[in-house]
């Protein structure tokens, strides 16, 4: 199955996806789709991919933050982001609940908004109730970067993109992120960007 990631402006990214029932989840078609989505996510490469990003309005997303993705990231940044490897997960028909009041803000990108990134405030901890790839109910409790990935993918399933939540003044190309902001603490970036608002 050849999958192509659709870009912002495609209407499928702006509609709420439809739920899947257990029989559909266990069907050969959806099982094949899950494997194809996993390959597509790895090939991108990304840490999450939702069915709407492939033009399919289904409440289905895959997540995996592989250890190899962390090799190029400084240890201090991994600690600041609370980023650890996340094993492969399938979330279907998810319900997301923020846990506590704490927020975290970091640069976030999206395979459907290719070439750009922005600071996005998110809940630091979440609880997601969903079905897995076998149609079994699961509860995922996550914090830090794992919680961010889950929130990003659940937004996709509800017709949302990170640009709806971003600090608009921080919106930048990936090239400019590398040139001007790479390795700088988020507080320093926010202060520099706020300076132009007086």
Instruction: Determine the number of helices (DSSP H) and then strands (DSSP E) in the chain.
Output: 6, 8
Cα dist. 166→2, 60, 106, 123, 176 in Å?
A: 31, 23, 10, 13, 17
In the residue annotation, 105 being an active-site residue is answered as no
Q: Tell me phi and psi for residue 187, to 5 degrees.
A: -60, -40
Contact by Cβ (8 Å): 126, 98: yes
Catalytic member of 153, 175, 179, 188: 153
Nearest to 118 by CA among 181, 66, 74: 181
Nearest to 5 by CA among 63, 59, 35, 45: 45
Q: Tell me phi and psi for residue 122, to 5 degrees.
A: -140, 160
What the block records as the tokens of 190 is: 């926010």
The DSSP secondary structure of 120-168, one letter per residue, reads EEEESEEEEEEE-TTS-EEEEEEEHHHHHHHHHHHHHHTT--GGGTS-G
Catalytic sites, residue numbers: 153
């Amino acid at each position: 199955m050849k999958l192509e990631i659709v870009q912002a402006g495609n209407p499928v990214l702006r509609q709420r996806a439809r739920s899947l029932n257990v029989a559909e989840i266990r069907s050969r078609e959806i099982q094949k789709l899950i494997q194809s989505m996993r390959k597509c996510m790895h090939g991108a490469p990304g840490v999450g991919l939702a069915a709407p990003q492939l033009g399919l309005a289904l409440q289905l997303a895959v997540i995996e933050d592989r250890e190899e993705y962390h090799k190029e990231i400084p240890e201090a940044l991994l600690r600041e982001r609370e980023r650890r490897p996340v094993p492969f997960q399938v979330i279907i028909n998810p319900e997301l609940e923020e846990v506590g009041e704490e927020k975290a803000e970091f640069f976030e990108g999206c395979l459907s908004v290719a070439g750009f990134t922005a600071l996005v405030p998110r809940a630091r901890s979440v609880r997601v109730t969903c079905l897995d790839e076998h149609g079994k109910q699961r509860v995922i409790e996550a914090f830090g970067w794992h919680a961010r990935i889950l929130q990003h993918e659940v937004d996709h399933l509800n017709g949302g993109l990170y640009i709806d939540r971003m600090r608009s003044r921080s919106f930048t190309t990936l090239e400019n992120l590398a040139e001007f902001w790479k390795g700088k603490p988020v507080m320093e970036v926010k202060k520099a960007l706020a300076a132009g608002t007086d």
